[in-house]
Structure 1
């Protein structure tokens, strides 16, 4: 199920989104003593991350991890971990705990054995922030990959290695069931082109063609789309 929330501009979206996330994290800390936030990489969330990093919050009780990452160490420019550490895990948010999806082995497929035990024991997430590619992928659940059926399966492990055919680098991605195991799921979109992709995803049901549909059309999970045209 999908709920579309539109904003007049990126600034308004980021302010409202940050406020909502802070409320979710504060409630989690008050009720359970800890909070779990899953974020995505790319250009879209960077301003949001900067805003969140300055919020007065018990960040030492917050665990942050990525929905997916390229199989690169955190010093590489294209690493999502590098991006998150440079933008979100700054200022007040430096106190947060971060769980990496990377291990120092050559292949993501070899790295699953090291990464899986970090993720499997985690409880229900408090908030997951997804992005979406123009091919309808989300996290690193790529429609072009041989691993897509595995990643979307109800019994998929918490993480899986992915080799996209239309994007560089091997990836480590949280699976559909692990991402769905969250109290709040958001899809963060900026630009009219992304709205067109969203409309296409909503118009049909084939999740293998556009994996984001597995979230948008899920019979139980509620996905809140945070969108602005500019």
Structure 2
């Protein structure tokens, strides 16, 4: 893949990516009043968060939004929002603005309008960091998900509720147009299985490999 960078090990990749994201945010703030960073949940980006949270950026001019969120409260160990607050929005990064993707109502559909209104002033995304599953999903755009076609469509709303067999809880996710509208896009993956998956995705349609929706504009960062 022409847009794939290989690293000697995961630690080197995480350090380089954190530095790159910080420099891209700083560059954005030279020309714009504010910048928006979108990041994945889960444990993979943790080392990036550790480094990034200490960077001397104008964090009070930076908004942070998750790629997606599980529909669980912050008291759940599966809450991406809770993880973000514990591991990223600390130290210098504590001054950043967190754009919520969860509200304490039973279903994501009940909060879509309110959360979408809150998100729109922070678009387009300045720097987008995505992960990818071995099934080639990114954000909560899962193959076979109930609203995948809607979320991939050019006229998709900014946020889409999503349910899929592999997702566990209901989710809320940024839609493909929002992801594709990002000014800079990075995908971080580890291990041979995901390397093979992303190479396979390049030859599949987005409905079968949702990461394909953003692959052409993304830089893929990989370490074994």
**Structure-2-length-normalised TM-score:** 0.96
Residue 128 of structure 2 is aligned to residue 116 of structure 1: no
Corresponding residue for 2:197? 197
Q: Deviations over 1:22-48 (max 9, x none)?
A: 111111111112111000011110011
Matched residue, 2:44: 44
1 or 2 for the larger relative contact order (CA 8 Å, sep ≥6)?
1
Residue 2 of structure 1 deviates from its aligned partner by 6.0
CA distance in 1, matches of 2:74, 2:134: 26
- 2:14 aligns to what? 14
Q: 1:195 to 1:53 in 2, by over 3 A?
A: same
CA displacement 1:36-62 (0-9 Å, x = unmatched): 100001111001101111111111111
Q: TM-score, normalised by structure 1?
A: 0.94
Work out the CA distance in 1 between the residues paired with 2:4 and 2:171: 29
Q: Which residue in the other structure is 2:213 paired with? A: 214
Q: Hey, what does 2:105 align to over in structure 1? A: 105
Q: State the distance in 1 between where 2:124 and 2:214 align.
A: 16
Report the equivalent of 2:127: 127
Moved over 6 A (4+): none
Provide Cα deviations, 1:88-116, integer angstroms capped at 9, x if missing partner.
11111111110110011100122212211
Q: Contact between 1:2 and 1:223, CA under 8 Å: does it hold in 2? A: no
Q: How does 1:1-230 map to 2 (within 5 A)?
A: 3-202=3-202, 204-216=203-215, 218=216, 222-229=217-224
2:3 aligned counterpart, secondary structure: strand
Q: Secondary structure of 2:186's match?
A: strand
Local SS of the residue matching 1:195: helix
Unpaired runs of 5+ in structure 2?
A: none
Query: After the TM superposition, which of the residue ranges 116-125 and 80-89 deviates more from structure 2?
Result: 116-125
Retained in 1: the 8 A contact 2:180–2:213?
no
